[in-house]
């Protein structure tokens, strides 16, 4: 008997159709992973409710579309027949379970809970007359508990291989009992189908991990390319890219203001000369981290870039220079009131600012940048620790 079951498994799965379905399943998993990974980067727990719902709905539609696509491909391969439906079922179960780990939202949870009633033949109310109805109910309740447990404990399960495997077995067993109630295939085949499901999940998990590792490596590369290694804020390359995009956007939308603030650290050379370049690096990090933290806490909606050396740029979208004066004054005050303590030495740091907005006469972002740079040097030439806004210089202590 075992030899017969094994031979049947080999005959059913080691053929061209099973290979195609497996490759299609891997392809769909790849698409789902990329879409989910890209979308989840755009939201967080603090994102507006409508934005989170929109992203989760799109993820649910991608999952549903993948299931429909897999069904159509299976029917094409089998000329519209449902023969060898276990092959198609295992592929869909693999996608359903994988997405429970990947897409952690309530829409995916709901799809998993409702899927037994959307499955082939599952909507047939003749099930109510089936003598195995109690078994169906027990299996369905078990399936609900399993997917809810996975939904709540995903992070823990991913780090615990044995529980991860156990949940796969229970998930697959609950599903194949549900299908057995409807289709009445020999009960011993439940175990062969379950075995193939576990093999499917192993293949998919291996491929998914390789894909996720690739994405993480890509993220690391993006960080290296777009963020300053020393301070951790956006760098000159990222500024060049961003400046082109915002110029095109805000120049055509003249009703929406765009303001640029540029600042540098006063007497920075003295920190290097008196205390050494390692201290100069600490001053740069202190200024960048203080400014970025304060901008985040006060929700200024500004973007901080390290332009080079001790010079930084802040891009304020949708704000006029007058709006930015109070913002940069608060940033400067926070920095002044938070001296850097290094090796028992108190280092007081001040900064000088230049501020200007995009105007119609600016033929490029460079015109705006050059004007802001000019205003910055006007602040420094006036004695430093000052702010120049559209050509008018102020002492920070005089700004209320």
Provide the pLDDT for residue 216: 61
Q: 152 is written with which tokens?
A: 């709540």
Say whether pLDDT at 69 is over 70.
yes
DSSP state, residue 144: H
d(CA 206, CA 168) in angstroms, rounded, equals: 15
Report which of 175, 154, 204, 196 is spatially closest to residue 28, judged by C-alpha positions: 204
Provide the pLDDT for residue 219: 55
Residue 25 near residue 91, CB atoms below 8 Å: yes
Beta strands in the chain (DSSP E): 258-265, 302-308, 311-317, 340-342, 345-347, 351-357, 386-389, 392-395
Rounded to two decimals, the pTM is 0.53
User: Average pLDDT in the 209-223 region?
Assistant: 62
Q: Which residue has the higher pLDDT, 329 or 227?
A: 329
Say whether pLDDT at 8 is over 60.
no
Q: Is residue 331 part of a domain?
A: yes
> Residues of the chain with pLDDT > 70: what percent?
84
Q: Is residue 231 part of a domain?
A: no
Residue 31 has a CB neighbour count (10 Å cut-off) of 14
SS3 127: helix
d(CA 264, CA 208) in angstroms, rounded, equals: 45
Say whether pLDDT at 209 is over 80.
no
User: Average pLDDT in the 158-162 region?
Assistant: 72
Residue 63 near residue 32, CB atoms below 8 Å: yes
Same domain for 359 and 383: yes
Same domain for 264 and 192: no
Residue 261 near residue 325, CB atoms below 8 Å: no
DSSP state, residue 116: G
Reported as half-sphere exposure (CB side, CA atoms, 13 A), residue 157 has a value of 20
Among 180, 204, 226, identify where a domain stops. Answer: 226
Q: Is residue 339 part of a domain?
A: yes
Which H or E run contains 221? helix 189-226
Domain count, the chain: 2
Among 226, 252, 272, identify where a domain stops. Answer: 226
pLDDT tens-place string over residues 355-376: 999 988 888 888 999 999 999 9
Residue 21 near residue 74, CB atoms below 8 Å: yes
Same domain for 244 and 108: no
Among 226, 252, 271, identify where a domain stops. Answer: 226
Same domain for 243 and 202: no
Say whether pLDDT at 228 is over 50.
yes
Say whether pLDDT at 344 is over 90.
no
Q: Is residue 178 part of a domain?
A: yes
Say whether pLDDT at 97 is over 50.
yes
Confidence of residue 59 (pLDDT cuts 50, 70, 90): confident
Q: Is residue 67 part of a domain?
A: yes
Domain harbouring 374, CATH code: 3.30.70.270
Same domain for 311 and 281: yes
User: Average pLDDT in the 63-92 region?
Assistant: 76
SS3 298: coil
Q: Is residue 75 part of a domain?
A: yes
User: Average pLDDT in the 243-249 region?
Assistant: 83
Most confident of 19-28, 118-127, 183-192: 19-28
Q: Taking the CA atoms of the chain, what radius of gyration do you get in angstroms?
A: 30
Q: 316 forms bridges with which residues in the sheet?
A: 259, 302
Look-up: residue for tokens 């901008």? 295
Same domain for 31 and 147: yes
Residue 360 is part of which domain span? 236-398
Which H or E run contains 141? helix 133-152
Say whether pLDDT at 154 is over 80.
no
Provide the pLDDT for residue 122: 46
Q: Is residue 373 part of a domain?
A: yes
User: Average pLDDT in the 196-210 region?
Assistant: 78
Same domain for 250 and 107: no
pLDDT tens-place string over residues 256-295: 889 999 999 999 999 988 888 899 999 999 999 999 988 8
Same domain for 251 and 179: no
Residue 342 near residue 356, CB atoms below 8 Å: no
Same domain for 241 and 207: no
Same domain for 242 and 206: no
d(CA 150, CA 1) in angstroms, rounded, equals: 35
Q: Which residue has the higher pLDDT, 27 or 215?
A: 27
Residue 146 near residue 170, CB atoms below 8 Å: yes
Q: Which residue has the higher pLDDT, 45 or 332?
A: 332
Q: Is residue 261 part of a domain?
A: yes
Residue 252 has a CB neighbour count (10 Å cut-off) of 8
d(CA 291, CA 285) in angstroms, rounded, equals: 10
Mean pLDDT score of the chain: 81
> Residues of the chain with pLDDT > 90: what percent?
23
Report which of 180, 185, 196, 15 is spatially closest to residue 90, judged by C-alpha positions: 196
Same domain for 368 and 303: yes
Residue 53 has a CB neighbour count (10 Å cut-off) of 15
Say whether pLDDT at 120 is over 60.
no
CA distances from 205 to 101, 142, 200, 316 (A): 10, 23, 8, 43
CA distances from 26 to 91, 98, 199, 206, 276 (A): 9, 11, 13, 10, 55
Say whether pLDDT at 47 is over 70.
no
Most confident of 206-215, 219-228, 295-304: 295-304
Provide the pLDDT for residue 305: 93
DSSP state, residue 120: T
Which of the residue ranges 68-72, 140-144, 317-321 would you say has the lowest mean pLDDT? 68-72
Same domain for 302 and 174: no
């Amino acid at each position: 008997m075992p030899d017969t079951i094994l031979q049947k498994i080999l005959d059913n799965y080691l053929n061209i159709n099973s290979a195609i379905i497996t490759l299609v399943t891997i392809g769909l998993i790849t698409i789902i992973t990329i879409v989910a990974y890209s979308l989840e980067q755009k939201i967080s727990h603090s994102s507006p409710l409508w934005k989170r719902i929109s992203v989760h709905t799109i993820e649910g539609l991608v999952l549903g579309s993948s299931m429909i696509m897999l069904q159509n491909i299976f029917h094409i391969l089998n000329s519209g027949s449902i023969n060898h439906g276990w092959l198609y079922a295992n592929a869909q179960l693999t996608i359903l379970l994988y997405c429970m780990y990947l897409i952690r939202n309530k829409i995916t949870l709901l799809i998993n809970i409702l899927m037994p009633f959307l499955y082939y033949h599952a909507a047939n109310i003749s099930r109510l007359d089936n003598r195995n109805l109690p078994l169906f109910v027990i299996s369905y309740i078990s399936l609900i508990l399993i997917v809810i447990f996975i939904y709540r404990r995903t992070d823990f399960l991913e780090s615990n291989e044995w529980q991860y495997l156990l949940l796969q077995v229970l998930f697959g067993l609950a599903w194949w009992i549900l299908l057995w109630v409807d289709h009445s295939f020999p009960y011993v085949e439940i175990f062969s189908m379950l075995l193939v499901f576990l093999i499917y999940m192993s293949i998919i998990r291996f491929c998914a991990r390789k894909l996720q590792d690739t994405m993480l490596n890509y993220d690391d590369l993006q960080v290296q390319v777009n963020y300053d290694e020393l301070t951790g804020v956006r760098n000159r390359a990222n500024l060049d890219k961003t400046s082109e995009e915002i110029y095109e956007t805000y120049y055509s939308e003249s009703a929406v203001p765009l303001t640029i603030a540029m600042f540098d650290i006063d007497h920075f050379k003295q920190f290097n000369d008196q205390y050494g370049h390692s201290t100069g690096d600490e001053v740069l990090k202190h200024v960048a981290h203080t400014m970025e933290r304060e901008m985040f806490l006060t929700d200024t909606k500004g973007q901080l870039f390290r332009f080079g050396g001790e010079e930084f740029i802040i891009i304020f979208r949708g704000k006029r220079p007058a709006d930015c004066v109070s913002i940069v004054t608060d940033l400067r005050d926070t920095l002044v009131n938070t001296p850097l303590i290094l090796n028992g030495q108190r280092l007081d740091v001040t900064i000088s600012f230049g501020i200007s907005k995009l105007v119609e006469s600016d033929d490029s972002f460079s015109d705006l940048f050059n004007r802001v740079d000019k205003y910055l040097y006007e602040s420094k030439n006036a004695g430093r620790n000052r702010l120049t806004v559209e050509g008018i210089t102020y002492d920070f202590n005089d700004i209320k």
